[in-house]
Amino acid sequence: MDGRIRNGGKRPGAGTKSKAVREGLKDTLDVTFPQDARENVLRRLVDQALDENPRVSLPAATLLLAMAYGRPTEHRETTGSDGEPLEIRVLYADA
């Protein structure tokens, strides 16, 4: 430990929500956000995606595509501070 309180470990509420929690949220949204309101929001979002201004159209189009096809896999490359490959050293304690 480095002196901080609760330094790591499992935290309450962290991680993927259970299917029951997701279904409960969906049920709540079905009641509070009826079908006609959802259709209205989607129509407005499509209108924004077709706007001539890219500052309006790009975020809307990105959201629509993510909703329709899923978000693409994100790839991240980690390098050292000088851009060289990251060196990983494994140190073993003497037995």
Structure token pair of residue 3: 């002196």
Q: Where are the domains of the chain?
A: 34-72
Q: CA–CA separation, 32 vs 41, rounded Å? A: 14
Asked if 46 and 64 touch (Cβ cutoff 8 Å), the reply is yes
Q: What is the pLDDT of residue 4?
A: 66
Angle 35-49/54-69 helices, nearest 10 degrees?
130
7 pLDDT more than 90: no
Read off the pLDDT of residues 40-79 as tens digits, 9 standing for 90 and up: 999 999 999 999 999 999 999 999 999 999 988 888 878 8
Which residues, at least 6 apart from 79, have a Cβ–Cβ distance to it below 8 Å? 85, 86
Q: CA–CA separation, 89 vs 60, rounded Å? A: 45
Q: What is the pTM of this model?
A: 0.53
Q: What is the pLDDT of residue 62?
A: 95
